[in-house]
Amino acid sequence: MFGFGQTPGRMLHAAAIVSITLIAQPSCRRTTTAPQHPVVAYKPDPLRDVRVLIVSDAPRVRLRADAGLHIVCDEDESAHELPGDDWYVVEPSKNSALRVVGQEWSGIECTVSADAESPISLSVFRKGDWALPDQYPGSIRITVDARRLDLINLVDAERYVAGVVAREIWPTFDTEAYRAQAIVARSFVLYEMMDRNHARYDVASTQGAQVYRGLRFDETGRRAAQAADYTRGVVVTAEQSGEERLVCTYYSAACGGMSQSAAIFGEANDIEPLRGGVGCDHCKIAPGKSYRWGPVRMKLSQVRSRLKARFSTMRSLRRIDSIDVTDRTPSGRPVRVRVTDTSGQSWELLAERFRLAIGGSTMRSTDCSIGVKGDHLVLKRGRGFGHGLGLCQWGMEGLARSGQPAGAIVRYYFPGANLTRVY
């Protein structure tokens, strides 16, 4: 009835749901490892705003809105109304409090909001200049810490989902791919919201989580908003211990032939939807070096300096002698590698972390042959782009082009999962 395919998943009304809990998984990062978290109850009503970390460690920012800005200092609740059509600078003061439009405030935190229909334009000062502004719905919380600013956007979940789809999708993708992307983006963030209920923010706005830069007013933004609206409240769940639980919906650009297991993040208790092994040649339509790549060579001295820069435990790494794969998935994809130096010291690390340390565009996936030849790391027979766990975005587009609806696409990449409408 929602147009999600011939075999619709379980659709529930919010009122029918007592609670949805998280399936015990590590914190749902797309590109990093994290420890186990406890199971947390999901109460869909009322749904609070998503807290998105949109700027961190900025020296100063400026904001404006057509209808003016409303700024509240969180410490003493003093409020200021600033008229529209002008930029207002917020920066740390010498006393590590906030300076707003040249005036020192008593607190270290303020919240900026605008008229409901008027987005807030935000520009960050970096490298001696103001960056091009982005437009954010909702309100923005600004905090000063050690004379640097962090900004958190408090935004309605559906507007956030539309913003993520507009940045994570390729603009030319099929409408059903937009809808599938909306479902996995929503599931991902609701999982994060429940998982990080007491943390300062729910989700970062970079590739480590989901890319988000507020509203987008072009054709892609319009199609993304329609996809969010069409799939409103629908998330990916799986039954465990007699109840539906939210699934952490990882996704990456192209799996290269087969989806990977949650084991690539060092996760032992993988669940059926994240167990991997989904055959996919639908991503072979991906352009450039996404479906197949390599060979790639990198000087071992460069590999060494990148590993030392990324991992404090590897600071004593000397000249690299060998890099060996010590563990693989059943399909043969490297899970762990061991780096040994000429002094005989060795370190074992997850292949995915190794990949991101030396460069995710150089080593486009861990699904490749890894070897040392002379003074070079040599990567051959590369397959896919990204971690390959969960939904394959180019495969999603391939399936959409062949006429598959969004719901069938999502269930294809998360076997055994259901689609559940939680609000």
Q: How far is the CB of 90 from Zn ion (least distance, A)?
A: 44
- 337, 325 Cβ separation under 8 angstroms: yes
254 contacts 286 by C-beta, under 8 angstroms: yes
C-beta closer to Zn ion: residue 2 or 394: 394
Q: Nearest Cα to 161, choosing from 182, 134, 177, 180?
A: 182
88 or 250: CB nearest Zn ion: 250
Q: How far is the CB of 397 from Zn ion (least distance, A)?
A: 10
Cα–Cα distance between 165 and 174 in angstroms, integer? 13
User: Could you give the CA distance from residue 414 to residue 277 in angstroms, rounded to a whole number?
Assistant: 10
Residue placing its CB nearer to Zn ion in the complex, 163 or 395: 395
Q: Which residues make up the interface to Zn ion (CB under 5 A)?
A: 255, 280, 283, 392, 395
CB of 237 to Zn ion, least distance (A): 23
> Can you tell me the distance from the alpha carbon of 268 to that of 261, in angstroms, rounded to the nearest whole number?
10
Cβ 333 to Zn ion, closest distance in Å?
A: 13
Q: Could you give phi then psi for residue 157, rounded to 5 degrees? A: -55, -40
Cβ of residue 205: shortest distance to Zn ion, in angstroms? 26
Q: For Zn ion, give the closer residue by CB, 133 or 395.
A: 395
- Exposure class string for 403-414: b at 16+ Cβ within 10 A, else e: ebbbbbbbbbbb
**Closest CB to Zn ion among residues 138, 395:** 395
Distance in Å, CB of 278 to Zn ion, minimum:
8
Cα 126 to its chain centre, rounded Å, is: 23
Residue 174 class from Cβ within 10 Å (0-12 exposed, 13-18 middle, 19+ buried)? buried
Give the nearest distance from C-beta 239 to Zn ion in angstroms.
26
Q: 192 vs 397, which CB is nearer to Zn ion? A: 397
CA dist., res. 160 & res. 419, Å (int): 20
| Of 31 and 252, CB closest to Zn ion | 252
